[in-house]
Amino acid sequence: MDKIAIYPGSFDPITYGHIDIVERALVIFDRVIVAIAYDTEKSALFTVEERIEMVKEVFKDNPRVIADSFKGLLVDYVARTNAVVIIRGLRATSDFEYEFHMASMNRSLNPHLDTLFMMTSKDYFFVSSRTIKEVARLGGVVEGLVPDHVGRCLRKKFKLPVNKKQHLGWED
Ligand code: PNS
């Protein structure tokens, strides 16, 4: 039977940091479900549908990655799938407390459910959806931190006409 991992989050938007975690998880698991939560404490820039579309576009050539969304509790969603584990990326010690609480609460709600943490690769330690949105909103270059398609979605959302790098003539 396929070993399936659930990678839940806001993914508002998906970054190369997230993609790196998915790719490394695929070494361990047969399939990874990138599961976008409707119910989070964060207010989102992109709709859940827009975020799913971005995830689908990023992994369009990889049938082992599934983009999905869920409402309500993560533990209930996981129970409806055949997943064996929740995956979360850890960037720094500052992430730890939040992640520790969330994993402990999820395990208290379902003692059979484990969370597997993967350390973010050094190249993406500073990358978060929140900072990406702020940089993009203020017209900064996010190339290399998010896929081009996501960069285009950000520019469209913030009504920025062109890639600043091209605009300033930095492009080779
Ligand atoms: O990327 P994020 O925003 O840090 O992800 C947080 C997420 C979506 C994993 C968390 O908010 C979540 O699981 N939401 C679903 C509702 C739920 O189960 N909440 C209890 C978690 S302790």
Q: 72 C-alpha vs ligand 1 centroid, how far in Å?
A: 9
| End-to-end Cα separation, the chain, in angstroms | 48
Mean pLDDT of 128-146: 95
Query: How is residue 73 written in tokens?
Result: 């509790």
CB-ligand 1 contact for 89 (6 Å cutoff)? no
Q: List, for residues 36-59, the tens digit of each pLDDT value.
A: 999 998 999 999 999 999 999 999
Site to probe by mutation for ligand 1, drawn from 6, 12, 40 as the one with most ligand atoms within 8 Å of Cβ, is 40
Q: Rounded CA gap, 56 and 66, in Å?
A: 8
The protein residue with its alpha carbon nearest to ligand 1, atom 13, reads 74
CB-ligand 1 contact for 38 (6 Å cutoff)? no
* 115-135 b/e (C-beta count within 10 Å ≥ 16 → b): bebbebbeebeebbbeebbee
Q: Note the pTM of the prediction, 2 decimals.
A: 0.93
Q: List, for residues 63-102, the tens digit of each pLDDT value.
A: 999 999 999 999 999 999 989 899 999 998 888 999 999 9
Ligand 1 atom with minimal separation from the 77 CA:
18
Ligand 1 atom with minimal separation from the 98 CA:
4
The burial class, CB within 10 Å (0-12 / 13-18 / 19+), for 48 is middle
